[in-house]
Structure 1
């Protein structure tokens, strides 16, 4: 089990640059109020003065402290001289001619043998990100200390809990500190080392209060009661140390901190620890063997090793799951573009292929929620467009007055014995023109559907314009399906004759009509001037039998011819749209894209990757690499190492 803490240290180093919070590594988090004795407790674990001291918040960034137990210098030198290689070379201290030293992550390959320099480096690095105004920063400082006097241990020292901002500190400094502390101790794999001074009321301890928020049962909380020597005369912390006041599952350990006088006079930590043991023997003889800094170090190392052992199965599972998730994310970003020319051709080819498959209904992924592609185009042709044409009345918007006016305009100065063909053509073209708007709307609907697949499509409405123009250019009265005008006229005459009792009434009305003034002219006897320009049929006048006959003949002919043209348009428009629009796009899409995009000046710009995507790919790749290394490190642990 001795290898477990170094293993976690290696894992911590693996995740330094990508964020250790994602993996939730086991670690000990030190929590306490300002002046609670946190720094003295940590320095007693190391056996050296190395932490900044002063008034107010001194620890303003998380300090991840890894303690690495090594052999004394003489033994290491013997090993090096005898074997030519250091058995601990993997820990990067082969050849170091010092008894103990420290290294920082941000100071690559620099070894600090002077612990005063370590203190100064912590202060300098703190000010680099947190400034000089006593503000705090969540960015950790990573310090590793190698010494034969320490036990393998990993701790995280956090800023002390404060109540009142001092100097240039922000007004919400208390909330900032508490938020930072909670972010670390909320990790379910962290052990909480709560430091509270014995000369204060432990029931109101801020450190214990925060610990209880995330660990209400105290299962992963260890209480350190500091400053036992500063309690009022006649009082002691025995009841607290026995666990009868504050219930925590991992235990309660009392320690005696160095006084400010000891620090000012640079009293050695070895001497302070001897004095601590002497104090415990005098005042707490029954607990002396289970108290003090040395016992605290052994307890922390033991607790951390057992905690790591318990967390390893879940840790391995989490690494495996995260590896699969990040591999999937990395695959989704694709590979960075190297050959721009080949990549663009590949993209264009695939895009054109997918586009055509969507129209043909052979796409790989078929939508089930709505019609799309070729299916929607088919629906537009046969449902939307077809129903619209069928709903158009051949004689809609065409009144008898319009028909009579057209007939008279076509006869000129002399009345015609038969319905003039010109009037029929004029009115037929007017009705046929009504087919143009729904035909163009059909093109628009298909075009909109094509745009849903691709945002590039030319306009082909001219072809449909031409279809209607062709019908308007020549009214084919010899069409095989068109009714014979003479037969229509005879049929109308026959029906009228039957209605007028053999035609007598029709003859009388004809005579009266021939004697009457021309329609639309005023009567001179009534004082109206003759208006030679007014040729319209009066609206209020009842049509004569002949006028009714002529109107009905024209109506029947228009209706017959309109149905012929409508049938042709209903058939021709979908064919035209398919040929000149849909099929044209399918056949020329790829060549058009290549012709427009395959230019040297555009290649770099078209395939440039957004900075966000490139950064996300890099971050995911780094995390995936870290997870792979972590998996290898965990796999090195044999089952026999856990016991």
Structure 2
């Protein structure tokens, strides 16, 4: 059991080197109100006067204090000599001063003050950055303590307004650690029911399973009163117990009364005032109790601690693997990255990528959606006769007849009007090209989320530029082809198209209509008044007369043209709906897929640029370094824990 606390101290050393709070180690956290006697309790445990003193908040940074017991044999075996040539018996060592040893504890106090002011200044503010101090002595028991700033309510002087919340949050950060023992310090000359430290401990440890109460200043209680009820746990029950101690007075400190004399006077006072419980109180008993509690607490936490370390080793190993090893052959690595990117890009289009999106369509699926949903529905929403009025149709018919009245509906009017409608298909077709181009641009970012792309930001940027340039270069020929598809339909109106059956029925109707007109002419039926005429006003400006009702023949002619336009438009729309996606696939999508890798190699694989392209991101380099240090620390921690045999736990 005695080996457990040194193990935790070793683990604390390991994790201090990387500054990590990933592992919550067992430790004793000392909390108490300002001037409750926390510092005096800790100094009695150490047997040395070494903590800063004064008015207001003196402890303004957490002090992680490791007490390490050394035997006389170890002292004799140490060949290290102090400056005056005498063998070291007691010394302190700070983490931030590396291997410097402090044999004068007045220097230890001064260093704590200097290091505190370095982080917090001299405005009495607090900081969460801990000071780590080890004290080696044959007069101490193995302990790990954390001394926290005293709890205060009202800011004094130049303290910040939220000083109460700052200190409370700092205390909660440490005592919330389930692996910590809470040492709650309360002065005997105050009401235990109003103890700030006990109230704070109860917030995180409501059952009091890991809280030990210390009652200080027993000698300063009012005459005629004592703390017997409190020390016996009748007032505030605490499961780990309540221990009373007698602090050094300010006069003792001023006269530099030795710690051994103070401990002797404490024992004398307890024997005189509380004879029945004197052996369960006092600073020596507190030190032994803390040592015992901490060892048992470490024993209980050890299995979970070991599991936690092993889990973190696996996590950090995986993290380091994702960052990759430092690059040696940059040319080979560049080709590998280009190949993987090109493969990932093509696989995203083909739908064979390893990481398939489940929240939204992307890649080839999105392109398919654009072809058959977005583009298809847009074309279907185009009205064959949209934007075409009856007046437009009739005007076209009349313009196609010239000065002579026509017996048949002129074909030229149909051709003129149907071309006008077919041109309306060009805009949605070009919009389809634009949507596919945007999706292929978006695929770059989808493939660029790979860790190696983040690792080399310059290479990532250049790859994006090359692919973007390739896509932009393929956009004009694709647009040109789509425009040509519409122009091809406009170049020749194929009225003999096998699907254009409407033309045959219209032709039959036109012949019957001509025969009817001839019969009407023989009977002498007066000709019908033509559609609105354009007249000249006095200012020689053309004006249009109001629309009148169409004659039966005019209505029939318009219906014929509209039926022909609608029938032929649907044939052309069907062809455009089929040919535009094929053109986009050939000129844009498939071309990029087939030429992406060769384009990347030709543009990026240049001897003079390889080194600069593979300059690693500072963020990734820093993360790898931190991860490597943390992995080494965890492996050392695992080795230290592994050295503990089951026999040592009992």
| Fold conserved between structures, TM > 0.5 | yes
User: Using the alignment, how far apart are the partners of 1:210 and 1:29 within structure 2?
Assistant: 12
3-state secondary structure, aligned to 2:243:
strand
User: Using the alignment, how far apart are the partners of 2:265 and 2:158 within structure 1?
Assistant: 39
Superposed displacement of residue 144, structure 1:
0.7
The structure-2 alpha-carbon separation of the partners of 1:43 and 1:485, relative to structure 1 and needing over 3 Å to count, comes to closer
Q: How does 1:437-456 map to 2 (within 5 A)?
A: 437-454=427-444, 456=468
3-state secondary structure, aligned to 1:191:
strand
- In the other structure, the counterpart of 2:263 is 273
- In the other structure, the counterpart of 1:504 is 519
Q: Which moved more, 1:98-107 or 1:352-361?
A: 352-361
The structure-2 alpha-carbon separation of the partners of 1:481 and 1:534, relative to structure 1 and needing over 3 Å to count, comes to farther
Superposed displacement of residue 325, structure 1:
3.8
Superposed displacement of residue 29, structure 1:
1.6
- In the other structure, the counterpart of 1:584 is 591
Superposed displacement of residue 23, structure 1:
2.0
The structure-2 alpha-carbon separation of the partners of 1:539 and 1:173, relative to structure 1 and needing over 3 Å to count, comes to closer
Q: Does 1:259 align with 2:277?
A: no
- In the other structure, the counterpart of 2:272 is 282
Superposed displacement of residue 440, structure 1:
2.6
3-state secondary structure, aligned to 1:466:
helix
Superposed displacement of residue 159, structure 1:
1.8
1:287-313 deviation digits (Å, cap 9, x = unpaired):
333332222222221221112112212
The structure-2 alpha-carbon separation of the partners of 1:569 and 1:183, relative to structure 1 and needing over 3 Å to count, comes to closer
Q: Does 1:32 align with 2:39?
A: no
User: Using the alignment, how far apart are the partners of 1:102 and 1:228 within structure 2?
Assistant: 30
Q: Which moved more, 1:436-445 or 1:385-394?
A: 385-394
Q: Does 1:304 align with 2:294?
A: yes
Superposed displacement of residue 616, structure 1:
4.2
User: Using the alignment, how far apart are the partners of 1:491 and 1:17 within structure 2?
Assistant: 98
The structure-2 alpha-carbon separation of the partners of 1:478 and 1:18, relative to structure 1 and needing over 3 Å to count, comes to same
Which of 479, 483, 486 is matched with 1:468 structurally? 486
User: Using the alignment, how far apart are the partners of 1:574 and 1:65 within structure 2?
Assistant: 73
User: Using the alignment, how far apart are the partners of 2:505 and 2:242 within structure 1?
Assistant: 118
Superposed displacement of residue 446, structure 1:
3.0
Q: Which moved more, 1:138-147 or 1:247-256?
A: 247-256
The structure-2 alpha-carbon separation of the partners of 1:472 and 1:168, relative to structure 1 and needing over 3 Å to count, comes to same
The structure-2 alpha-carbon separation of the partners of 1:122 and 1:422, relative to structure 1 and needing over 3 Å to count, comes to same
User: Using the alignment, how far apart are the partners of 1:484 and 1:142 within structure 2?
Assistant: 95
The structure-2 alpha-carbon separation of the partners of 1:563 and 1:24, relative to structure 1 and needing over 3 Å to count, comes to closer
Whether the 8 Å contact between 2:534 and 2:544 is mirrored in structure 1 is no
3-state secondary structure, aligned to 1:294:
helix
3-state secondary structure, aligned to 2:106:
helix
Q: What's the TM-score, normalizing by structure 2?
A: 0.83
- In the other structure, the counterpart of 1:641 is 648
The structure-2 alpha-carbon separation of the partners of 1:421 and 1:10, relative to structure 1 and needing over 3 Å to count, comes to same
Q: How does 1:94-105 map to 2 (within 5 A)?
A: 97-105=87-95
Aligned residues: 618
- In the other structure, the counterpart of 2:464 is none
1:92-133 deviation digits (Å, cap 9, x = unpaired):
xxx993111111101111111111111111111111112122
1:508-532 deviation digits (Å, cap 9, x = unpaired):
46x744xx99877699xxxx99999
Which of 181, 186, 203 is matched with 2:171 structurally? 181
Superposed displacement of residue 607, structure 1:
5.6
- In the other structure, the counterpart of 1:90 is none
User: Using the alignment, how far apart are the partners of 2:616 and 2:625 within structure 1?
Assistant: 13
Which of 432, 454, 458 is matched with 2:422 structurally? 432
User: Using the alignment, how far apart are the partners of 2:573 and 2:366 within structure 1?
Assistant: 22
- In the other structure, the counterpart of 1:91 is none
Superposed displacement of residue 319, structure 1:
2.2
Q: What's the TM-score, normalizing by structure 1?
A: 0.84
Superposed displacement of residue 6, structure 1:
0.5
- In the other structure, the counterpart of 2:212 is 222
3-state secondary structure, aligned to 2:201:
helix
- In the other structure, the counterpart of 1:245 is 235
Q: Does 1:58 align with 2:58?
A: yes
User: Using the alignment, how far apart are the partners of 2:506 and 2:429 within structure 1?
Assistant: 30
Superposed displacement of residue 204, structure 1:
2.5
Superposed displacement of residue 278, structure 1:
2.6
The structure-2 alpha-carbon separation of the partners of 1:551 and 1:275, relative to structure 1 and needing over 3 Å to count, comes to closer
Superposed displacement of residue 467, structure 1:
1.3
Gaps of 5+ in 1: 87-94
